[in-house]
Amino acid sequence: MKEFFRTYKIYVVPGIFLLFGFASPIITKLLPELLGSMVEEMGFPLPEMTWEDSYSQFFKNVYQIGILAVILTTMGTIADERGKGVAQLVLTKPVSRNGYVLAKYAANLLIMSITALLAFHATWLYTKVLFDGTQYLSGLYATGIFIVYLAVILALMIFSSSLTKTPVASGGIAVLGLFITSILSLFSKGLNKYSPGALVEYTNQVLGGTANTTELGCALLVALGTCIALLALACFIFQRQEL
């Protein structure tokens, strides 16, 4: 936690998330005016923006650019410290290797989960001011789904970082894993409903009130199981590596 607060990480990810939190409702509100003349020339009517559009814009931003920022700031979590000898110094203390790996994961997940919640509340506040009928709980539930997805991405980052000694290689493995996760839903109906990548679509369904709670619950359990498996592999690999 001290490392997080004493480095640039405390500014990058929270800053990006909060920027999207404040800006998404404003962009959604101004979109009809910005595109008004273009739409009139093309002859397509532009639907009226609602609170759901504002929330959707926020989650679209954090699922894309926000997750990319998380990868870029955490790709050296273990790999960089191994390469610079910091991990060796820490492990000379009464700190287990498993504890070292899990502490990295827990600290990052805690900070980024709090950041995601703060960013959502910024979106909710501005959406409530700009749009009528704004609902709070559906957005909060969607944020919870995003945090579970974030937990999977961070577990993937810890796993990839435990494999290498360079942040770039770790980031490359994580991006590959993220790509595979995002396309798993294309291969079968089961993966389309229950793979971690399906959480992105469930976020939109929760906002629209169309989510199947049973299928969503199963997808969340699969995501949590994926986190546990990735962290177990990370600990197993790190235990057997020469520092």
Structure tokens at 213: 């709670």
Torsion, Cα of 229, 211, 123, 125 (10° steps): -130
Report which DSSP code applies to 49.
Answer: P
Distances (CA, A) of 200 to 42, 185, 191: 31, 11, 13
pLDDT tens for the 243 residues of the chain, in order: 887 787 777 788 888 999 999 999 998 888 777 766 565 566 566 678 889 999 999 999 999 899 888 888 888 778 777 777 778 888 888 888 899 899 999 999 999 999 999 999 999 999 999 998 889 999 999 999 999 999 999 999 899 888 877 778 887 888 888 888 777 767 767 677 888 888 988 999 999 888 888 989 999 999 999 999 999 999 998 888 776
pTM of the model: 0.89
pLDDT at 229: 94
pLDDT at 181: 75
- Contact, 4 vs 108, CB < 8 A? yes
Q: Which residue has the tokens 């500014």?
A: 11
pLDDT at 88: 81
pLDDT at 25: 92
Q: How far apart are CA 55 and CA 41, in angstroms?
A: 28
Long-range contact pairs involving 122-125 (C-beta distance under 8 Å, separation at least 24): 122/18, 122/21, 122/22, 123/20, 123/21, 123/22, 123/24, 123/25, 123/54, 123/55, 123/58
